[in-house]
Structure 1
Amino acid sequence: MTTLLELKEKLIRFYGKNEIYVKPAIRFVLALFTFLMINNSIGYMKLVSKTPVAVILALVCSMLPANGLIAIAALVVLADLYALSIEVCLVGLLMFAIIYFIYFRFSPKSGINAVLTPVCFKLHIPYAVPVGSGLLSEAYSVVSVACGTVIYFFIHGVSENASALSDAAEETDSSVSKVVVALNQLIGNKEMYLVLGIFIITTLIVYVVRKLDIEHSWTVAWASGILFEAIGLTAGYILLGISDKIAGVIIGSVISGVIAMIIQFLFFNLDYSRTERLQFEDDDYYYYVKAVPKSLVTEKDKQIKRFNGKNEKERLNKKKFAEEMDIDENLLD
């Protein structure tokens, strides 16, 4: 544990000294993965669905906040949908317009969750997002988690039904049928409603529990959230007849638990064995304070003084040494 704490302190110091470079690097990696995921799922417009274009867009996003990444990613998605079908593009535009008004009205500061949710779905660990959001963000972050979930299921649904949506229809009702198929990815997707409900409740459970005045509140919070997710999604998939996804839920929940432990270690690692309860007063109030120290290990600053260095500049004469040590120079004779 001591080694891990020392590593944590080194990471914190490194981040503090190089924040101006680390943040853009993280945004670049997240943006690049996002654009590659879009290209892999619905890369129908060849002009924008190339790796060099994804790298250039990621570089641009590295200099923008999370909301900038959301806007550019939405434009890329709409371009791909337009190449597939103008009807699907219009449905996608309607979806993004609704998300825009909901997201920027309730959760404009937690855009990272809206991006991470589809990315984590692609990595098969989406269950970590509501838990992490509940641990690190405010309650309103549930909106961005919900928006990211809807975006993923829409893109995934379009990818699954691409052949039906891209056929050059000769029938008079072709356009209508495409709109119906596209809307069905949002309105008639029972799995999306199940996951959306579970994720919303999970985020709120984790947020509420970690705010409680109890020992190990973060551990109880993420454990409760992951347990609720696993049980809720397993039961839901059984009811929907999608039992083949249960194994993925269990494995994903275990991985999410490991991620939650890492988050807790980095951001809320407390030493409850040294808890103190303090009491003091001022003119108007008595204060009862519970103080729990953080688990920290700081490296000692070691300074080496050379008395007989080969170089004259390295030598320390008696007078200078006595001044530094704040002692009488005569004691060194």
Structure 2
Amino acid sequence: MDSIYVLRGRIEELYARNSKVYDKAIQFILAVSTFILINRNVGFMKMAASPVAAIALAVICTFLPLGATVVAATALILLHMYSVSLGILGVTAVLFLVMYIFYLRLAPKMALVVVLTPLAFFLHIPYVIPVACGLAAAPGSMVAAICGTLVYYMMDYVKKAAANLDDSGVKGMLTQATDYLGKVFQNKEMWVMLGAFLICFFIVYAIHRASMDHAWKIAIVVGIIANLVVVVAGDIVLGVHTSYGMLVGGSVASLVIGLILEVFYFSVDYSRSEKLQFEDDEYYYYVKAVPKLSVATPEKMVKRINERQETEIIDTESVRKKSGTASGGVGKNGKRPMPKKGQSVKKHDMKEVDKMLLTQSLRKDLNMRK
């Protein structure tokens, strides 16, 4: 586990260095993915469905708040609906207007959830949304999740029924609008998914805020189990044909995403938890204190090896000649001075040689350090 927290620390340090760049890169990827998935599923207008248009629109949205991506996706869907039928366009516009009223009133800062919910459906992992929102968001996020779910099923219906839609006067448009509303809001699968989302979210949200040990892990597991029970019950009771492969895959993805969120947002050491008691004039306070878990990132030790040093060869005879009279050499009169008593000439010369070698070595070391 220590290696996981060390990796988390390094990721946080890397993100902190260029957080704005990473935020814009993630925003661009989300925008491109959203526009491409819309074009692949309801891309009826050829000019708007081109990859160049999707990339250009994503670049513009990257330099704007994330809410601009939601507005651009709405406009793109309406353009494609216009190419299908005016009746479908009118109903879709009214539904978007109602969703925007609830979204802007109850969850104006949850644009990320609105964008991610249809993407999760297209990637066959929609059950990640209630688990992630229950751990890291407020109850208002479910308004955004419901809007994203409704948008997905609207596009799914138009994708399947586009071949049979035909504008044939006012009566035909009214028939199409009525069928469109009926098929979308009478879709049992959509209501089962919304019920599972709400139950899973509130279970995860309630348990992860409790004071019990390992509350986040318990919330993730219990929420996933509740989601499985609701979906399977809807499949049996209402006859909804649920893909069990998508159900299992989405549950595993929910478990993984939930554990990742716990590592980054709620890393605590339950082994060192304490229960404290305080009091004042009016109340007694019972507090459970759980310390956060942090692992110091190991620093890299870089050892520098100096360049190869060449050994200087010194001629001892030349050193003796340079030493002159100070080292017992030949004086001005051409005669060698007599050594002191008890000291031979050879020993005296060798001492002076050693002094010269030591002096040159010290000078060389000092020059290298400079």
Instruction: Give the TM-score category using the shorter length.
Output: 0.7 to 0.9
| Paired residue type of 2:247 | V
1: distance between equivalents of 2:4 and 2:217?
A: 18
Q: Deviations over 1:213-272 (max 9, x none)?
A: 211111111111111111101110222323452332123212221221122122212221
Q: 1:293 to 1:315 in 2, by over 3 A?
A: farther
Q: Structure 1: where are the runs of 5+ without partners?
A: 317-333
Query: 2:243 aligns to what SS in structure 1?
Result: helix
Instruction: Using the TM superposition, give the Cα deviation of residue 23 of structure 1 relative to its aligned residue in structure 2, in angstroms.
Output: 0.5
Do the aligned residues in 1 keep the contact of 2:114 with 2:145 (CA within 8 Å)?
Answer: yes
- Which of 225-234 and 286-295 deviates more? 286-295
Instruction: Using the TM superposition, give the Cα deviation of residue 305 of structure 1 relative to its aligned residue in structure 2, in angstroms.
Output: 9.8
Do the aligned residues in 2 keep the contact of 1:146 with 1:200 (CA within 8 Å)?
Answer: no
Q: Is 1:260 aligned to residue 234 of structure 2? A: no
Instruction: Report the counterpart of residue 292 of structure 1 in structure 2.
Output: 290
TM-score by length of 2: 0.78
2: distance between equivalents of 1:185 and 1:63?
A: 38
Instruction: Report the counterpart of residue 159 of structure 2 in structure 1.
Output: 159
Query: 2:275 aligns to what SS in structure 1?
Result: strand
1: distance between equivalents of 2:92 and 2:172?
A: 18
* Residues 265-284 of structure 1 mapped to structure 2, 5 A cutoff: 265-279=263-277
Q: 1:284 to 1:303 in 2, by over 3 A?
A: farther
Instruction: Report the counterpart of residue 219 of structure 2 in structure 1.
Output: 221
| Paired residue type of 1:146 | I
2: distance between equivalents of 1:241 and 1:59?
A: 44
Bigger radius of gyration among the two: 2
Q: 1:198 aligns with which of 167, 175, 196?
A: 196
Do the aligned residues in 1 keep the contact of 2:235 with 2:241 (CA within 8 Å)?
Answer: yes
2: distance between equivalents of 1:257 and 1:222?
A: 7
2: distance between equivalents of 1:314 and 1:216?
A: 59
2: distance between equivalents of 1:27 and 1:33?
A: 10
Instruction: Report the counterpart of residue 138 of structure 2 in structure 1.
Output: 138
Instruction: Report the counterpart of residue 22 of structure 1 in structure 2.
Output: 22
Instruction: Report the counterpart of residue 45 of structure 1 in structure 2.
Output: 45
- Which of 5-14 and 204-213 deviates more? 204-213
Instruction: Report the counterpart of residue 173 of structure 1 in structure 2.
Output: 171
Q: 1:262 to 1:302 in 2, by over 3 A?
A: closer
1: distance between equivalents of 2:209 and 2:20?
A: 31
2: distance between equivalents of 1:304 and 1:282?
A: 55
Q: Structure 2: where are the runs of 5+ without partners?
A: 310-364
Do the aligned residues in 2 keep the contact of 1:274 with 1:292 (CA within 8 Å)?
Answer: yes
1: distance between equivalents of 2:81 and 2:157?
A: 12
| Paired residue type of 1:126 | P
Supply the RMSD in Å over aligned alpha carbons: 2.6
Q: Deviations over 1:88-141 (max 9, x none)?
A: 011110110000000111111112111111000000000000110110001111
2: distance between equivalents of 1:161 and 1:181?
A: 10
Instruction: Report the counterpart of residue 11 of structure 1 in structure 2.
Output: 11
Instruction: Using the TM superposition, give the Cα deviation of residue 53 of structure 1 relative to its aligned residue in structure 2, in angstroms.
Output: 0.9
| Paired residue type of 2:221 | A
Query: 1:47 aligns to what SS in structure 2?
Result: coil
Do the aligned residues in 2 keep the contact of 1:118 with 1:149 (CA within 8 Å)?
Answer: yes
* Residues 90-169 of structure 1 mapped to structure 2, 5 A cutoff: 90-165=90-165, 167-169=166-168
Query: 2:4 aligns to what SS in structure 1?
Result: helix
Q: 1:313 to 1:5 in 2, by over 3 A?
A: farther
Do the aligned residues in 1 keep the contact of 2:6 with 2:295 (CA within 8 Å)?
Answer: yes
Q: Is 1:62 aligned to residue 36 of structure 2? A: no
Number of matched residues? 314
Do the aligned residues in 2 keep the contact of 1:202 with 1:229 (CA within 8 Å)?
Answer: yes
Instruction: Using the TM superposition, give the Cα deviation of residue 302 of structure 1 relative to its aligned residue in structure 2, in angstroms.
Output: 6.3
* Residues 223-262 of structure 1 mapped to structure 2, 5 A cutoff: 223-262=221-260
2: distance between equivalents of 1:181 and 1:29?
A: 35
Q: Deviations over 1:46-101 (max 9, x none)?
A: 11111111111111222222211111100000000001111101111011000000
Do the aligned residues in 2 keep the contact of 1:234 with 1:249 (CA within 8 Å)?
Answer: no
- Which of 220-229 and 242-251 deviates more? 242-251
Q: 1:302 to 1:80 in 2, by over 3 A?
A: closer
